[in-house]
Amino acid sequence: MATSSFLAPAPVVRRVRGYFAAVNRGTGTPVLFDPAEMGGFALDSPPAPWVSLGWIKNFTRKAGSRTAPILTGIPAAVLEQARETLDAQVGFQFLSWTKLTMALATGSQHMNLLAPAAGAAAVIQSGATATLLPLLAADAAKFSAGRIVAVDVDYAGQTGFVGSPVSGAYVKAALTDVDYVRRVTFNVATVASVATTGLAGLTLTDALPGGVPAAGMKVQALTGFVDREGGSFFQEWSALFVMEGGQGERVFFHYPRLQALGSAVEVASSLAKNGTLERVLLGGEFRALPVTDPLDGERVVCYRSFLPAGKALI
């Protein structure tokens, strides 16, 4: 008789993949991942609002929760246990430098280096999409293909969390920099082509993280990114890590709220055993913050899910 199942050994994985989703800092709402509903997604195209962070290296998890015994009787014996503290940490290295990975790995606020030569931000005309930014011809001529641009509103004295679609900073007191929101926004993309005749504007290589630009948003060229040691802002994000085993099984680690635990660090990884070239990886250490599980009201910091291989005995 043919067998219809097999005894699956522990998963054998090659690497770990990371995914990001923005926490709504204003309302304190993280993104929850439901593996029962979305666990089978293609790793290269995660379901919205998750964004791939690429493959990561040296992924480690550490639970810092402490339990304490409750003793009763003479002589005292453990009656039950109580959880005194709830804590968990995650560490890994990003294998790429992008706006997102750099911003998450840094321990503080992450900013865009706005290009000084490009002058004032250009007003986005009507008809914009997530990949097409119509501009006046004169404004479009200030940009060139390959340029990175930031798209967001002018700073108008607001306080609190600013930036879209991810809160890039918390403004404690009103500032005077009109470009401040575009300086901290995560809504960045690379220009694929520039049209200065006909329908003038910018075509982007990828869709803006924030989707279709809202009314009043402007586009501004930037040259790179910068972070600082210090400050009081902590970036917060919802994280998902996936290990895929050789039999197709999957292990998910979901942290609804993660904040950077340390400062910005780089890890050098030699390309060859006796060579001098080194790959510089962004190192990240993160602390998990608690959420209330809507299922039963318990406070938790992370979830570990396992989707077994097909036909595996459980």
Partner 1 sequence: MQNAKDSFYVALRTRLAAINPERTILLRSAVRPGIVVEEAEAPFAQLPADVFVLRWLGLGVDQDLPSTMVAEEVEVLYSTLGTQSFGGLDRGRALSEMDEELVAMLTPFWTPKLNYTATPATVMLTKVFWDEPVFGQATALRDRLSRTARVVVYSYQEAGE
CA distances (Å), origin 144, targets 182, 209, 292: 19, 21, 47
Judged by CB under 8 A, the number of residues near partner 1 is 16
Q: Which stretch binds partner 1 (CB under 8 A): 7-15, 18-26, 261-269, 297-305?
A: 7-15
Residue 44 beta carbon to partner 1: minimum distance, rounded to whole angstroms:
11
Instruction: Confirm or reject binding of residue 14 to partner 1 (CB under 8 A).
Output: yes
Binder to partner 1 among 193, 246, 279, 304 (CB under 8 A)?
Answer: 246
Instruction: Confirm or reject binding of residue 4 to partner 1 (CB under 8 A).
Output: yes
Of the candidates 26, 110, 51, the one whose C-alpha atom is nearest the C-alpha of residue 284 is 110
For partner 1, the binding residues in 70-129 under the rule CB under 8 A are none
For residues 306 and 243, give the distance between their C-alpha atoms in angstroms, rounded to a whole number.
Answer: 10
Output phi, psi for 139, to 5 deg.
-70, -40
Instruction: Confirm or reject binding of residue 311 to partner 1 (CB under 8 A).
Output: yes
Residue 106 beta carbon to partner 1: minimum distance, rounded to whole angstroms:
31
AA identity, residue 198: G
Tokens standing for residue 292: 């209330």
Annotate 105-164 with DSSP letters as a single string: HSSS-EEEEE-STT-SPEEPPTT--SSEEE--HHHHTT--TT-EEEEEPPP-S--EEE-S
CA distances (Å), origin 59, targets 85, 94, 305: 23, 10, 16
Binder to partner 1 among 39, 91, 165, 248 (CB under 8 A)?
Answer: 248
Residue 218 beta carbon to partner 1: minimum distance, rounded to whole angstroms:
42
Q: Which is nearer to partner 1, 227 or 249 (CB)?
A: 249
Instruction: Confirm or reject binding of residue 247 to partner 1 (CB under 8 A).
Output: yes
Q: Which is nearer to partner 1, 8 or 192 (CB)?
A: 8
Instruction: Confirm or reject binding of residue 12 to partner 1 (CB under 8 A).
Output: yes
**Rg, the chain, Cα only:** 23
Q: Which is nearer to partner 1, 86 or 309 (CB)?
A: 309
For residues 278 and 267, give the distance between their C-alpha atoms in angstroms, rounded to a whole number.
Answer: 9
Q: Which stretch binds partner 1 (CB under 8 A): 3-11, 58-66, 82-90, 189-197?
A: 3-11
Cis peptide before 30 (omega within 30 of 0): no
Residue 78 beta carbon to partner 1: minimum distance, rounded to whole angstroms:
34
Length in residues, the chain? 314
Q: Which stretch binds partner 1 (CB under 8 A): 47-55, 168-176, 245-253, 271-279?
A: 245-253
- Under the rule (CB under 8 A), what is the footprint of partner 1? 2-10, 12, 14, 246-248, 309, 311
